[in-house]
Amino acid sequence: MIYKRKFPNTRLRRLRSSSNIRDLVREHNVTANDLIQPLFIKEGLKGTEAIEQMPGIFRYGLDSVIKEVEEIASLGIKSIALFPVIDPDKKDPEGSEAVNNNNFICNAIKEIKSAVPEILIISDVALDPYTTHGHDGIMIDDNIDNDLTLDQLVKQSIALAESGADIIAPSDMMDGRIKAIRKALENNNFKNTILLSYAAKYNSKFYGPFRNAVGSSSNLGKSSKAEYQMDVANVDEALHEVALDLNEGADIVMVKPGMPYLDIISKVKDTFNVPTFAYQVSGEYSMLKSAIHNKWLESSVITESLMCFKRAGADAVLTYAAKEIIKELN
């Protein structure tokens, strides 16, 4: 039908002619309901530490993070994703500290939950903050052992759920982890713990600033995560990953990185019609911020980028700029 329309009966500029009409016909919006704020918290730190490659983003000590979470919640943001920076002395090749139910992240979750009970806490499941080699799993003869890692991830997930994490987010890319974690959650009576699967997580260099921020890049060295994270060149494989994770019990699936992967978000949403999140990762944030800092781009490009995520089909986006965007929108 649409192809029969002709100028001047149809002038697409009519519906662009004032801001009121543009507002009425707009298809997508970005609100506080769409944004999740990732936060770095550092064991043993008092106060805050700036992260050089991520201007405006800090590592928080347990003493300073509560105030930050209160501010985030007061802006109407519904959820935070916590990333711990662990004392290097507690790291080992198996990531043992990850399964200690009295570790730094478990205590942080309890404290934040008791201070700001309404905020939904997303907690990552992967061993990289805890391993001396910086990989997401247990290393045997230079190989990340899938099935040994599963046992560790299950224990880590239960510890996080016991501490009060609302959403468990496996970011490790081991095969079968959603199934194993879901089964353990059911068996331990965590029937309402939400599983947010980093289903299509690519082996991306856009994670660089994050790895520096959590102190895993120096441990990782030149070693890559290509044996478990997805090949940047693949599309079908992303749909395969999502299908498996949904069958295994994921409630929400995620695509990561974000901006250069909008095609994947769009395909996942169109194919499965399930809640689909995206992660605008550290490198994307650094890229935008450094250009804005140099006055090569206007600061509104950040909100523009979030609108593009919504247009592609993302239901919510993890973005370091969440707080800043909401302040700007208000």
Name the residues annotated as catalytic: 201, 256
Using an 8 Å Cβ cutoff, are 145 and 174 in contact?
no
Question: Which of these segments, 45-53, 60-68, 123-131, 289-297, binds ligand PBG (CB under 6 A)?
Answer: 123-131
Q: Which is nearer to ligand PBG, 90 or 211 (CB)?
A: 211
Interaction between residue 57 and ligand PBG (CB under 6 A): no
Q: C-beta of 7: minimal distance to ligand PBG in Å?
A: 46
Q: Which of residues 272-291 bind ligand PBG (CB under 6 A)?
A: 281-282
Interface mask toward ligand PBG for 196-225; x: CB under 6 A: -----------x--xx-------------x
Using an 8 Å Cβ cutoff, are 252 and 230 in contact?
no
Q: C-beta of 213: minimal distance to ligand PBG in Å?
A: 8
- CA 328 from centre of chain: 22
Residue 268 to residues 100, 231, 277, 313, Cα–Cα distance (Å): 35, 17, 10, 9
Q: Which two tokens stand for residue 314?
A: 């993302």
24: amino acid identity, one letter: L
Cis ω for the linkage preceding 257 (within 30 of 0): yes
Q: C-beta of 111: minimal distance to ligand PBG in Å?
A: 22
Question: Which of these segments, 62-70, 93-101, 124-132, 304-312, binds ligand PBG (CB under 6 A)?
Answer: 124-132
At residue 236, the 3 state secondary structure works out as helix
Interaction between residue 128 and ligand PBG (CB under 6 A): yes
Q: Which is nearer to ligand PBG, 229 or 276 (CB)?
A: 229
Interaction between residue 136 and ligand PBG (CB under 6 A): yes
Angle between helices 301-312 and 322-329 (to 10 degrees): 100
Q: Which is nearer to ligand PBG, 97 or 136 (CB)?
A: 136
Among 126, 139, 161, 264, binds ligand PBG (CB under 6 A): 126
Identify each DSSP E strand in the chain by its residue range: 35-42, 48-50, 58-60, 79-85, 120-125, 138-140, 143-145, 167-170, 194-201, 252-256, 276-280, 316-319
Query: CA angle, corner 97, sides to 93 and 100, nearest 5?
Result: 145
Q: Which two tokens stand for residue 106?
A: 């478990």
Short-list 292, 220, 221, 283, CA closest to 257: 283
Calpha distance 90→310 (Å, rounded):
40
Size of the site for ligand PBG (CB under 6 A): 12
Q: Which residue is nearest to ligand PBG (CB)?
A: 210
Interaction between residue 261 and ligand PBG (CB under 6 A): no
Interface mask toward ligand PBG for 169-198; x: CB under 6 A: --xx--------------------------
Q: C-beta of 133: minimal distance to ligand PBG in Å?
A: 12
Q: C-beta of 197: minimal distance to ligand PBG in Å?
A: 13
Phi/psi region, residue 131 (left: phi>0; alpha: psi -120 to 50; beta: rest), is beta
Using an 8 Å Cβ cutoff, are 320 and 285 in contact?
yes
Q: Which is nearer to ligand PBG, 144 or 330 (CB)?
A: 144
Q: C-beta of 42: minimal distance to ligand PBG in Å?
A: 16
Residues that bind ligand PBG (CB under 6 A): 124, 126, 128, 136, 171-172, 207, 210-211, 225, 281-282
